[in-house]
Structure 1
């Protein structure tokens, strides 16, 4: 393998693992379900996507590259939608934002 590709794979893997670490720390340290969901969906998606891109750079087989890039596209399309739907379901189930959230733009209608 060409040394520039090895360096690129290493850098992308390290950056992806840092984003995954940030996501896991965010899941442990943030206060409510909405903040945790934001950390998990944004940083986790970016971290796993970068690690799949590192796999695509490292692989020399077109089928592995195609599957890795399809995985990145799948993550980017599904994770934000799933996080939004889970947050909406949590709000409707009665989980309110913590006190650090100053504006609640989805007040519950008690009609």
Structure 2
């Protein structure tokens, strides 16, 4: 009986830890997190960052689940390159795909369209 009392908490902990393991994710992020960290650490590497975002978007679109914020981040990177039209296009994609961000994205779109 004493042995059983010692084993039960260990088994319970193992089961809880197993429940925390995730092998499948809802979205395909690619190397988005690492490349974003590197870009914000050394912003001079914009072209490399854009290439990583393009790869992340391509993988996500193939899987059919583009993560929230990915189109907006790519649009901002394009805007930093001076590509306003392309940036607006990706801001619209973000707004269409994620209704939660629609208010913010529409404000971004409106502000960009007001600029010459």
Rg comparison, structure with higher value: 2
Q: TM-score, normalised by structure 2?
A: 0.32
What TM-score comes out, normalization by structure 1 length?
0.33
